[in-house]
């Protein structure tokens, strides 16, 4: 009886992890990202919306951006910084299905983030911001679970976990 | 004598207004061409439209990441081939193993940098800040020179029409001149 329960539990765990950021979820996230990220001024508006959603949850986080325009999207300095950060996320998402190159990119992003000592909670805040803005771009196509799982893979890599 | 005086002052006014007109035209041109650059390389609003539209055709597909990587790899390897000193500058991103993860990721980053600047073309203030940051990032790498950026400009002029079906060379050249000149602005020759 006990063995059976353990087996069922093990099967459930296997099932849960298989529905995480597996190879199909990665393809889906890549496809959804390329539509949401867009280009030109649409892209800039998307990026600005993402950062507004971020700072709306964590207004105190502007202090992390004191040398790049304090999170103020009316500043060219911050718009450029916002684009730069999201361009790093774009690289990580696009490389989700190429493990060796993804690893190299995440190592690079980790090196850039390490000296800044960013509290882990801000990665969760950022994930929530994506969860707020992506559905607005993608409508019903937005796959919440796939995004959550794959964003966590990227965030863990950037935090060196 | 009053008449003579009157016509003289009229001529003076005309001369003055002609001068003012010339000055206004000149100021307009300078403002239009972003002041920092020679007037024959404008990268005007319409040039920026054209560049963005033509560039965008490369990224319609989900697999554009592979296009980015291959294109970036091609540009960097060509730069190293034409400028042997460049190879050593990319030693820490493993240029000796150009299909490995490290160099692939770097090639992707370079292309994403170009992609970012092109997508910021209609936000001059944001573009300026982004290019200034890229200039700082290159200024701290000793051995990187303005000449290498001129070489990259030539490589891009050669490569872009080979991947883009529609390629307006004047628009691309003028906008890339602006982009590359500013990124290289903190380097020596």
CA distance A15 to chain B (A): 27
Residue B51, classed as helix, strand or coil, is helix
B64 falls within a domain: yes
Q: How confident is the model at residue B64 (pLDDT cuts 50, 70, 90)?
A: confident
A62 falls within a domain: yes
pTM of the model: 0.81
Q: Look at A79-88, B3-12, B129-138 and tell me which has the smallest mean pLDDT.
A: B3-12
Here the ipTM equals 0.82
H helical segments located in chain A: 2-18, 23-37, 40-57, 76-94, 99-113, 121-138, 144-158
Question: What was the pLDDT predicted at B11?
Answer: 56
CA distance A94 to chain B (A): 6
Q: Which residue has the tokens 């697999």?
A: B63
Q: Which CATH number characterizes residue A134's domain?
A: 1.10.490.10
Q: Give me A16's structure tokens.
A: 């849960």
- Do B126 and A103 make contact, defined as CB atoms within 8 angstroms? no
Question: What was the pLDDT predicted at A122?
Answer: 97
Cα atoms found within 13 Å of the Cα of residue A8, Cβ hemisphere only? 5
Q: Which CATH number characterizes residue B80's domain?
A: 1.10.490.10
B28 falls within a domain: no
What's the longest Cα–Cα distance across chain A? 65
Q: What is the mean pLDDT of chain A?
A: 91
A127 falls within a domain: yes
- DSSP per-residue letters across B133-151: HHHHHHHTSTT--HHHHHH
- Do A80 and B52 make contact, defined as CB atoms within 8 angstroms? no
Find the mean pLDDT for residues A102-129: 96
Residue pairs between chains A and B whose CB atoms are closer than 8 Å: 94
B122 falls within a domain: yes
Which helix (H) or strand (E) segment holds residue A154: the answer is helix A144-158
Question: What was the pLDDT predicted at B9?
Answer: 56
A5 falls within a domain: no
A6 falls within a domain: no
Q: How far apart are CA A134 and CA B80, in angstroms?
A: 40
A131 CB burial (10 A radius; 0-12, 13-18, 19+): middle
Q: How confident is the model at residue A28 (pLDDT cuts 50, 70, 90)?
A: very high
A52 falls within a domain: yes
- Do B119 and A39 make contact, defined as CB atoms within 8 angstroms? yes
Q: Give me B167's structure tokens.
A: 């390629």
Task: Give the residue numbers spanning the domain of A104.
Answer: 21-159
- Minimal-distance CA residue of chain B relative to A105: B105
Q: How far apart are CA B6 and CA B25, in angstroms?
A: 29
B16 falls within a domain: no
Q: How confident is the model at residue B62 (pLDDT cuts 50, 70, 90)?
A: confident
Question: What was the pLDDT predicted at B31?
Answer: 54
Express each pLDDT in B147-180 by its tens digit: 999 999 999 999 999 999 999 999 999 999 999 9
Q: Give me A148's structure tokens.
A: 């959550």
Express each pLDDT in B16-29 by its tens digit: 666 666 666 655 55
Q: How far apart are CA B106 and CA B62, in angstroms?
A: 20
Express each pLDDT in B36-56 by its tens digit: 544 446 899 999 999 999 999
Share of chain B above pLDDT 70, in %: 78
A109 falls within a domain: yes
Find the mean pLDDT for residues A106-135: 96
Find the mean pLDDT for residues A107-121: 95
What's the longest Cα–Cα distance across chain B? 89
Q: How far apart are CA A77 and CA B188, in angstroms?
A: 25
Q: How confident is the model at residue A15 (pLDDT cuts 50, 70, 90)?
A: very low
**B108 interaction partners in chain A (CB closer than 8 Å):** 91, 94-95, 101, 105
**Touching check for B119 and chain A: CB below 8 Å?**
yes
Question: What was the pLDDT predicted at B29?
Answer: 54
Q: Give me B71's structure tokens.
A: 């294109």
A15 falls within a domain: no
Task: Give the residue numbers spanning the domain of B73.
Answer: 45-184
Total tally of structural domains belonging to chain A: 1
Share of chain A above pLDDT 90, in %: 86
**B72 interaction partners in chain A (CB closer than 8 Å):** none
């Amino acid at each position: 009886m006990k063995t059976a329960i353990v087996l069922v539990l093990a099967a459930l765990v296997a099932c849960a992890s298989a529905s995480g950021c597996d190879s199909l979820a990665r393809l889906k996230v890549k496809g959804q990202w390329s539509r949401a990220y867009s280009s030109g001024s649409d892209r800039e508006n998307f990026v600005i919306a993402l950062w507004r959603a971020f700072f709306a949850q964590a207004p105190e986080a502007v202090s992390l951006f004191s040398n790049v325009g304090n999170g103020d999207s009316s500043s060219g300095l911050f718009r450029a910084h916002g684009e730069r950060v999201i361009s790093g996320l774009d690289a990580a998402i696009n490389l989700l299905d190429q493990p060796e190159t993804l690893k190299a990119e995440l190592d690079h992003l980790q090196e850039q983030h390490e000296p800044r000592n960013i509290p882990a909670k801000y990665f969760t805040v950022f994930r929530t911001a994506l969860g707020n803005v992506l559905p607005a771009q993608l409508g019903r196509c937005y796959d919440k679970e796939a995004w959550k799982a794959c964003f966590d893979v990227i965030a863990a890599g950037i935090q060196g976990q | 004598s009053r008449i003579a005086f009157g016509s003289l002052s009229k001529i003076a006014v005309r001369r003055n207004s002609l001068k003012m007109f010339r000055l206004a035209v000149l100021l307009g041109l300078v403002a239009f061409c972003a002041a920092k650059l020679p007037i024959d390389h404008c990268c005007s609003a319409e040039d920026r439209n054209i560049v963005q539209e033509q560039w965008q055709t490369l990224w319609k597909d989900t697999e554009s990441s592979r296009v980015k990587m291959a294109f970036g790899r091609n540009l960097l390897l060509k730069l190293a081939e034409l400028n042997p000193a460049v190879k050593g500058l990319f030693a820490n991103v493993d240029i000796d193993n150009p299909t490995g993860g490290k160099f692939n990721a770097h090639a992707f980053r370079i292309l994403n940098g170009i992609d970012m600047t092109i997508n910021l073309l209609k936000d001059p203030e944001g573009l300026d800040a982004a290019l200034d940051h890229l200039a700082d990032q290159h200024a701290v790498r000793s051995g990187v020179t303005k000449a290498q950026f001129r070489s990259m400009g030539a490589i891009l002029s050669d490569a872009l029409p080979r991947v883009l079906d529609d390629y307006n060379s004047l628009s691309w050249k003028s906008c890339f001149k602006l982009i590359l000149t500013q990124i290289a602005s903190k380097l020596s020759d």
